[in-house]
Each structure stands twice: as C-alpha cells, then as structure tokens.
Homo-oligomer: A and B are copies of this chain.
Amino acid sequence: MYDSKQAAQEPYLELVRELIFTYQAFTKTGETHIRKLGLTPPQFDVIATLGNIKGFNFKELGEKTLITKGTLTGVIDRLEEKGLVQRQMDQHDRRMFQVVLTKEGETLFEKIFPAQILHFKQQFQTLTPEEHEEILTALRKLKKIFKE
C-alpha cells in the first residue's frame, strides 16, 4: 500500500512513505556505533535512560524508553547478564524493584553518552530555530491525523 506508483494516485501515500523513510533513517543513525559497543538500540536506550539517575522501576523505565513490559524483561535480563544493570528489591513494595546501573554500567554510560549526544547535536545544528519549530508542528499535525 506504500508503493510509489500508487502514491501518484493517492498523494497521502507519499507522506506515509516519507514518514517511514525518515523514521528508518533515524533508527539507522548511531546504530552502527551502538552495535560496536556490543549493545542493541533498546539496550543502549535503557543505559542512556538510567544514566545520572538513582534508578527506575519497570513501569517508569518502560514509559521513558517506549518499550513494553514483556519486552523490557528480556532487555533487562540481557543487560544484567552483561553486568551493566542490576535489579534492586524495593524496600516498601515487594512487587517491584529498581533497575540501576552497575559500576560497569556507569562507566559505559560516561564513555558513550556524551559522544552520542554530541553526534546528534552536531547533526541538528544545521537547523534554524524556525525550521525546528516547523518540523515539530508538521510532526504534530501528522500525528493528530493518525490518532483520529
């Protein structure tokens, strides 16, 4: 349904395809670098989210990283095997625990995060504040369409 020939007939398909390509371009950015560190993008996302913070429980972590609970269990398992994060029992509510970075996790975070931020920052510096706003507005309009 996202074919370019059909897009000629249905102009909205052009928009949809462009959204997909833009999203794919985003997910590709930095992925090579992340994988060289032995991490997957979701794993990196968790490390980055836990950096400079005392910890999050699963619910919070899922909201921040946009990863659903069932998936998060596996991601945290693998990060725990790598010794990068730890599950810490919550004192007050034994149903939940805090996920925190280990010493190794902290070290990794400090090594990779500034570089990643800088990388993105440089890429976005080509945008004027006006362009930034225009893109934000455009995305919100598009999102609204899909949500209705």
Contact = CB atoms under 8 A, between A and B. Distances in A.
A66 B14 contact: no
Given A23-B19, A134-B134, A64 B145 contact: no
Greatest chain B CB density within 10 A among A19, A64, A113, A116 is at A19
B10 A136 contact: no
Q: How large is the interface on A (under 10, 10 to 19, 20 to 34, 35 or more residues)?
A: 35 or more
Nearest to A131: B141
Interface stretch (A71-79, A81-89, A93-101, A121-129): A121-129
Interface of A: 1-3, 10-12, 14-16, 18-26, 28-29, 44-45, 48-49, 64-66, 113, 116-117, 120-121, 123-124, 126-127, 131-132, 134-143, 145-148
